[in-house]
């Protein structure tokens, strides 16, 4: 592990989320060194919140939690003491919920003008769809991602294998916005409110096609260009062992290398000839089906062909490239013991040298955190006895 300071060292974040885009955002901030405090309900109300599996979201490594009944006057007052010292608040309730609790941006800004307050929601804080419920697939649908993906057997859009909207359009979107707001605060001394709309983040992911339509009137869809399956040089092919190979030979030199390696030189001059794409696919498929996926990957991947194996999860966690870069690490849980997990993955995040301790999420840091903001031991004990905190 390197010894340089973490980029967000000294930044304290209060995060109300348990799953979804806001939780992805909090994970990024924590892995960049922020002191992330998860704000949840006390034990008597645990059924009101989704409780992820212990290993989810990197097992809450480098995070603390406080459990407070925000509807109880003393609980709300205790939270306001935390908010007064915080740098960032992240929430993912329906629009208007935090304001009804008296914990909206205006209320917290009055206490803490430097606060960066980030609301994440599916469709934004205003507009006709702002209060619509939704999940990852709904945001990918409204943002065009599903429409431009190749169709499944019955003609319908596919279900993606990862929560692209939650992770990229929401979580990364929110984290990037918070980074920018903290930079602006450094210049102005003031915090700000961030309205992170996941569906708009999906629009950014599909912006090549959105901008194409707006500029030209064209109607992008599955198979309309090289990136959506129009040409044989950008596709997946079955190998002799039933596993699959991905081919992304967009540039001419890579395509030529591929044709030669597959002994399909007859198609060297036909890469983007629409009239023969089906024939190219037939010949590519026939060639690739003669050997196993790993045999082809071993030959083609180093040969400038833009070819890579389609890995299962259990395969990728043993991939030599990933292992060599230390992208998987060991975690140690007080109850569940040691297990592997994805290490801090983004550039500028420190990768650990040994096991990362992760917390037992059935044990809170409530007493410690409330003591840090000035509550006495007697006050904390009484609030716990009354079920206001946990």
Domain ranges of the chain: 12-204+332-385, 226-238+244-309
The pLDDT score that the predictor gives to residue 2 is 53
User: In which band, very low, low, confident or very high, does the pLDDT at 337 lie, cut at 50, 70 and 90?
Assistant: very high
Rounded Cα distance between 381 and 337, Å, is: 31
The reply to whether 226-238+244-309 shares the fold of 12-204+332-385 is no
Q: Which fold has domain 226-238+244-309?
A: formyl-coa transferase, domain 3 (3.30.1540)
User: In which band, very low, low, confident or very high, does the pLDDT at 148 lie, cut at 50, 70 and 90?
Assistant: very high
Interval 66-82 mean pLDDT: 96
Which one of 3.90.550.10, 3.40.50.10540, 3.50.30.60, 3.40.50.970 gives the CATH number of domain 12-204+332-385?
A: 3.40.50.10540
The pLDDT score that the predictor gives to residue 81 is 97
Percent of the chain with pLDDT over 70: 98
Give the model confidence (pLDDT) of 10-40 as tens digits: 999 999 999 999 999 999 999 999 999 999 9
User: In which band, very low, low, confident or very high, does the pLDDT at 49 lie, cut at 50, 70 and 90?
Assistant: low
The mean pLDDT value of the chain amounts to 96
| Model confidence at 367: pLDDT above 60 | yes
Interval 267-284 mean pLDDT: 98
Out of 47-51, 165-169, 190-194, 227-231, least confident range: 47-51
The residues annotated with a catalytic role in the active site are: 135, 166
Give the model confidence (pLDDT) of 276-319 as tens digits: 999 999 999 999 999 999 999 999 999 999 999 999 999 999 99
Q: Do the strands 307-309 and 12-15 form a parallel or antiparallel pair, or are they unpaired?
A: unpaired
The pLDDT score that the predictor gives to residue 51 is 82
Long-range contacts of 345-351, Cβ-Cβ distance < 8 Å, separation of 24 or more: 345/31, 346/28, 346/31, 346/32, 348/7, 348/32, 349/31, 349/32, 350/1, 350/2, 350/6, 351/1, 351/326, 351/327
The pLDDT score that the predictor gives to residue 44 is 76
Query: 387 in the Ramachandran plot: left (φ > 0), alpha (ψ -120 to 50) or beta?
Result: left
Task: Give the CA-trace dihedral at 141, 144, 146, 150, to 10 degrees.
Answer: 160
The pLDDT score that the predictor gives to residue 95 is 95
The pLDDT score that the predictor gives to residue 48 is 61
The pLDDT score that the predictor gives to residue 93 is 95
| Model confidence at 65: pLDDT above 80 | yes
| Model confidence at 1: pLDDT above 60 | no
Rounded Cα distance between 147 and 385, Å, is: 54
The pLDDT score that the predictor gives to residue 47 is 62
| Model confidence at 199: pLDDT above 80 | yes
Rounded Cα distance between 349 and 359, Å, is: 20
Residue 201 and residue 217 in contact, taking contact as beta carbons nearer than 8 Å: no
Residue 30 and residue 350 in contact, taking contact as beta carbons nearer than 8 Å: no
Percent of the chain with pLDDT over 90: 96
| Model confidence at 133: pLDDT above 80 | yes
Interval 42-64 mean pLDDT: 86
């Amino acid at each position: 592990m390197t010894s340089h300071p973490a980029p967000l060292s000294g930044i304290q974040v209060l995060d109300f989320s348990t799953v979804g885009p806001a939780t992805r955002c909090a994970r990024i901030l924590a892995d960049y060194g922020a002191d992330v405090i998860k704000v949840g309900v006390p034990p008597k109300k645990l059924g009101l919140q989704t409780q992820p599996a212990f290993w989810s979201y990197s097992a809450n490594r480098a995070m603390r939690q406080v459990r407070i009944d925000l509807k109880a006057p003393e609980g709300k007052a205790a939270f306001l003491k935390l908010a007064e010292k915080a740098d960032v608040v992240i929430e993912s309730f329906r629009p208007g919920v935090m304001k009804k609790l008296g914990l909206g941006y205006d209320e917290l800004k009055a206490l803490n003008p430097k606060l960066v307050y980030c609301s994440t929601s599916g469709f934004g804080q205003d507009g006709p769809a702002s209060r619509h419920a939704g999940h990852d697939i709904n945001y990918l649908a409204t943002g065009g991602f599903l429409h431009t993906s190749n169709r499944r057997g019955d003609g319908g859009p596919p279900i993606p294998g990862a929560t692209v909207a939650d992770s990229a359009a929401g979580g990364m979107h929110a984290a990037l916005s918070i980074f920018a707001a903290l930079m602006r605060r450094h210049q102005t001394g003031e915090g700000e409110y961030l309205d992170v709309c996941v569906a708009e983040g999906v629009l950014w992911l599909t912006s090549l096609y959105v901008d194409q339509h707006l500029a030209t009137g064209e109607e992008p869809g599955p198979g309309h260009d090289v990136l959506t399956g129009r040409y044989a040089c950008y596709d997946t092919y079955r190998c002799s062992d039933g596993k699959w190979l991905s081919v992304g030979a967009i540039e001419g030199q890579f395509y030529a290398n591929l044709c030669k390696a597959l002994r399909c030189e007859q198609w060297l001059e036909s890469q983007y000839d629409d009239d023969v794409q089906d024939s190219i696919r037939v010949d590519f498929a026939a060639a690739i089906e003669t050997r196993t996926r790993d045999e082809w990957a071993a030959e083609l991947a180093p040969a400038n062909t833009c070819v890579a194996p389609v890995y299962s999860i259990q395969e990728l966690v043993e991939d030599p490239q990933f292992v060599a870069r230390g992208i998987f690490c060991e975690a140690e849980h007080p109850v569940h013991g040691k297990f592997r997990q994805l290490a801090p993955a983004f550039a500028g995040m420190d990768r650990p040298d040994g096991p990362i301790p992760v917390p037992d999420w059935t044990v809170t840091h409530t007493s410690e955190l409330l003591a840090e903001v000035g509550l006495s031991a007697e006050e904390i004990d009484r609030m716990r006895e009354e079920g206001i905190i946990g």
